[in-house]
Structure 1
Amino acid sequence: MTALTTEKVLEQDSAEASACRKAAIRLVPLLALAYFFNYLDRTNVGFAALTMNEDLGLTASQFGFAAGIFYVGYCLFEVPSNLALYRFGARRWLARIMITWGFFSACTALAQGATSYSLIRLLAGIAEAGFFPGVIFFLSLWFPAHYRTRVMAWFLFAIPVSSVLGGPLSAAMLSMDGMLGFAGWQWLLVLQGLPACFLGVLCLKILSDKPADASWLTAEERVALQSALDAEHEAKESHSFRQSIKDVRVWLLAAILFSYIIGILGIGVWLPQILKTHNLTTTQIGWVSAVPYLIASAAMLLWAKVLARKRRYILHLAITCATGAAGFIFSVVYSDFILAMVGLTIALIGLSSVRTCFYSIPSTFLSKQAAAGGIAFINAVGSLGGLVGPYAVGWLKDYTHSFSAGLIAMAGMLCLATVLTLVLMVVVKKSGSGQG
């Protein structure tokens, strides 16, 4: 390689790094904030239920079903939504998703009973379908693999942060009970739903569909970053969406995600009511629930740093799922409040770190053509766990009059996820693709 050629390569690398820094600063905070409210919308019903269930006359099973039916609409429209995103562009489609989901989330405050509550949550799921896999696909259009893991970790950081801040925030909003004639849970749902509409409008102004469209990058940065991304996509196996859903790796990932989501949403929706069994007040529940998520947030970032260096995505996926299972089992065996909280914290450390490992895997073997639909398909099938998890925990609570059975069930599903991940590791090694 001549000195002139070496200089050009270094200049391109420098331009690529500069473009990624600018993109991370401009795009990731907005998307992470949107995901903060997105995930808050899925779990804030757990806090609303502290008073809403009595007002609407909901049993634990009815509440669990209504919270879970959100995922029926979400899963049915996941793949069509992401194919539309691929066709119309991420900027416009992500904005549409945010505006409509924010509207229906706020409308949940209008529920009058189990039927209307379930119907509105179904519509909210339809509106929100495609957001998460859409963002994952969008990040793959902007960041090469060696940047993507850390960028994804900062985006996913919104999940535990939403739980850290969401607890005290939700408790404070519940205290607005009676203001202007509305119940506290109604204020909670409206004030945590409407910000998504504003963020959707902001997306139209700030996002760009791909580096080539970004006027805020220099010409050199646009060319360098787009060239790196094009080279990366060309190096992958050629898949269409139809081919991707015939791939055993895609189905294994969907099954792993299904098992995982039963655990993460089971605890996300029911943690406030689990804490209520320890005779805590609503305000205490808000603050106490934040502690395990705060610890899990820090652990997730540290884990992502290790993952970015090692790139052993599948191995770390197995470890994180097993950690979640171990934490749930510990919280049942040692049911004293302090020890139970230690167990739940261990579980949440594992559960919070799963996604960074998991969503780094599909892009290692799916081409750009298949990624939008393939990731959406994995997410759609896997997200059915969102219907099973909350309902199963509620049904077991009604049947056994204890949350212990639900915690054991979630641990069992995470053990299954661990086994399936080990199977995936064997399949990947045989195919010679991806990172073990």
Structure 2
Amino acid sequence: MRKNAWRLLPLLTLAFVFNYIDRTSVGFAALTMNQDLGLTATQFGWGAGILFAGYCLFEMPSNLAMYKVGARRWLTRIMVTWGLAAAGTAFVQGPTSFYVLRFLLGVAEAGFFPGVTFLLAAWFPAQYRVRVLAFFMLGVPISSIVAGPMSVWLLQLDGLMGMHGWQWMFLVQGLPAVLIGLVLLAKLRDHPRDADWLTHDEREELLRMLDEEPRHQPKKALWAALKDGRVLLLAAIQFGFVLGSYGIGIWLPQILKQHGLSLSHIGYLSTIPYIAAVIGMMVWARIVDKSGKQVMHLLLACLLGAVGLAASTVSSGLAAELFGISVAVLAVSSARAIFWTIPTRFLTGVAAAGGLAFINSIGTMGGFFGPYLVGAIKDYTGSFSAGIWAMSALLVMSAALTASLWRLVPKE
């Protein structure tokens, strides 16, 4: 397991860092881009969120193609095309071209996360998966820790070679994904039997562990998986906490800007919630793996996220607002890692490839509605508070739906 982890996780986590940077750093670009392009809060929220429309529409076709082609080659294709689309956002001219490039970025990225989840489930038995997924998902908070200071520094290149700072930001943060994709092609393997870094005995032992892994009413056929009530329920649960995650991530720089902070202060303060998440989610993942109670901990994470969001609006002070947001980010980041161990308990083969993509495609629509919802409510009310309360309510909904999983996923 240690050999597999060192071979797979650092590279996949680095890929996820740039995946998330290319999705969410648009929030930093908005600090100057919105004025340059004449975008309203609603238009920006729509453009930031429309990525997820393209992502969700092409999620299942992408993951089914991965099942046919192999994860190694398909993940490479995803990274190369998304890197080019992310860099191309530097050349948008107004709302329409902004919408088109963000939509294309979503199409290019489609299938990356469920593809990696499918790949890791083929390499690690169930008792390791929360920790493995938590390590991979460190890409989310690490990307936000890196993106803040990096984006602010790139924004200050305004005027260099006749380009805006936000244009440099998209170029510099987008193109590395192309290079990482080519490294994936060389380093990844699709199946444990192809692992040249393991001895023959290690490969055989790993395959035995995976074959003997207990599964609850396993589904192998795609259509049977899509009709499974657990799959539909998981998609709805993910919708709530993904909405909260992206609602915070996209708008955090502008929430901080309300306090009259400089660009550099916004960049550094925006890292605080994600530093808390890096520490908290790894500790929480170890606790979940030892207890085996994924459903209970997913429920607790959703509730804690709702409480953190609500608490961030109680006081107008910067410290109290950052504390509440930090609690919410820690909880939602932990929920992601816990959540993705549940569907692989009852999905296998093509059902896992299609089922995971279906869950992610429906759930990830929260990434569209979160930024748009906050932006539209901000334009209507003049404040971020009402939008944050709406996200908190949807996290409570996810917690309530999670409670019903106890009847559908036995032996918790």
Corresponding residue number in structure 1 for 2:129 = 148
Asked if residue 407 in structure 1 is aligned to residue 383 in structure 2, the reply is no
- Quote how far apart the aligned CAs of 1:341 are: 1.1
Q: Which of 1 and 2 has greater Rg?
A: 1
- Quote how far apart the aligned CAs of 1:236 are: 5.6
**What is the rounded CA distance, in whole Å, between the counterparts of 1:27 and 1:239 in structure 2?**
25
Counterpart among 50, 53, 73 of residue 92 in structure 1: 73
Corresponding residue number in structure 1 for 2:362 = 381
- Quote how far apart the aligned CAs of 1:152 are: 1.0
Corresponding residue number in structure 2 for 1:311 = 292
Higher mean Cα deviation, 193-202 or 210-219?
210-219
Q: Deviations over 1:171-200 (max 9, x none)?
A: 111111111111110111111111100000
Corresponding residue number in structure 1 for 2:99 = 118
Counterpart among 58, 65, 71 of residue 77 in structure 1: 58
Corresponding residue number in structure 2 for 1:266 = 247
- Quote how far apart the aligned CAs of 1:21 are: 1.4
Corresponding residue number in structure 2 for 1:16 = none
Asked if residue 61 in structure 1 is aligned to residue 42 in structure 2, the reply is yes
Counterpart among 361, 372, 379 of residue 398 in structure 1: 379
Secondary structure of residue in 1 paired with 2:227: coil
- Quote how far apart the aligned CAs of 1:351 are: 1.0
Distance verdict in 2 for CA 1:316–1:233, change over 3 Å? closer
- Letter paired with 1:27: L
Q: How much identity, in percent, do the aligned residues show?
A: 51
Q: Deviations over 1:35-56 (max 9, x none)?
A: 0000111110000000000011
**What is the rounded CA distance, in whole Å, between the counterparts of 1:356 and 1:312 in structure 2?**
13
**What is the rounded CA distance, in whole Å, between the counterparts of 1:252 and 1:97 in structure 2?**
28
Distance verdict in 2 for CA 1:234–1:249, change over 3 Å? closer
Corresponding residue number in structure 1 for 2:141 = 160
Contact 2:240-2:363 at 8 Å conserved across structures:
yes
> What is the correspondence of 1:147-226 to structure 2 with a 5 Å cutoff?
147-226=128-207
- Quote how far apart the aligned CAs of 1:210 are: 0.6
Secondary structure of residue in 2 paired with 1:69: helix
Asked if residue 101 in structure 1 is aligned to residue 87 in structure 2, the reply is no
Higher mean Cα deviation, 267-276 or 364-373?
364-373
Secondary structure of residue in 1 paired with 2:383: coil
- Quote how far apart the aligned CAs of 1:234 are: 7.5
**What is the rounded CA distance, in whole Å, between the counterparts of 1:369 and 1:120 in structure 2?**
31
**What is the rounded CA distance, in whole Å, between the counterparts of 1:399 and 1:335 in structure 2?**
20
Corresponding residue number in structure 2 for 1:3 = none
- Letter paired with 1:148: R
- Quote how far apart the aligned CAs of 1:232 are: 2.3
Corresponding residue number in structure 1 for 2:261 = 280
* Alignment TM-score, normalising by the size of structure 1: 0.93
**What is the rounded CA distance, in whole Å, between the counterparts of 2:100 and 2:142 in structure 1?**
29
Corresponding residue number in structure 2 for 1:15 = none
- Quote how far apart the aligned CAs of 1:237 are: 1.7
Contact 1:320-1:354 at 8 Å conserved across structures:
yes
Contact 1:86-1:372 at 8 Å conserved across structures:
yes
Q: Deviations over 1:335-383 (max 9, x none)?
A: 2111111111111111111111100100111123311110110000111
**RMSD over equivalenced CA pairs, Å:** 1.2
**What is the rounded CA distance, in whole Å, between the counterparts of 1:263 and 1:295 in structure 2?**
17
Distance verdict in 2 for CA 1:423–1:175, change over 3 Å? same
- Letter paired with 1:150: R
**What is the rounded CA distance, in whole Å, between the counterparts of 2:69 and 2:330 in structure 1?**
37
Contact 1:171-1:286 at 8 Å conserved across structures:
yes
Q: Deviations over 1:20-79 (max 9, x none)?
A: 211110111000000000011111000000000001110000000011111111001000
Contact 2:216-2:345 at 8 Å conserved across structures:
no
Corresponding residue number in structure 2 for 1:251 = 232
Corresponding residue number in structure 2 for 1:363 = 344
The total of aligned residue pairs comes to: 412
Secondary structure of residue in 2 paired with 1:232: coil
- Quote how far apart the aligned CAs of 1:260 are: 1.1
Secondary structure of residue in 2 paired with 1:185: helix
Asked if residue 337 in structure 1 is aligned to residue 322 in structure 2, the reply is no
Higher mean Cα deviation, 333-342 or 315-324?
333-342
Q: Deviations over 1:158-181 (max 9, x none)?
A: 111111121111111111111111
- Letter paired with 2:282: L
**What is the rounded CA distance, in whole Å, between the counterparts of 1:56 and 1:425 in structure 2?**
49
- Letter paired with 2:193: A
- Quote how far apart the aligned CAs of 1:393 are: 0.5
**What is the rounded CA distance, in whole Å, between the counterparts of 2:349 and 2:300 in structure 1?**
29
Contact 2:9-2:135 at 8 Å conserved across structures:
yes
Contact 1:233-1:367 at 8 Å conserved across structures:
no
Asked if residue 296 in structure 1 is aligned to residue 289 in structure 2, the reply is no
* Alignment TM-score, normalising by the size of structure 2: 0.98
- Letter paired with 2:122: L
Counterpart among 395, 403, 407 of residue 422 in structure 1: 403
| Structure 1 portions without partners, runs of 5+ | 1-19
Corresponding residue number in structure 1 for 2:332 = 351
Contact 1:300-1:352 at 8 Å conserved across structures:
yes
Corresponding residue number in structure 2 for 1:13 = none
**What is the rounded CA distance, in whole Å, between the counterparts of 2:289 and 2:215 in structure 1?**
22
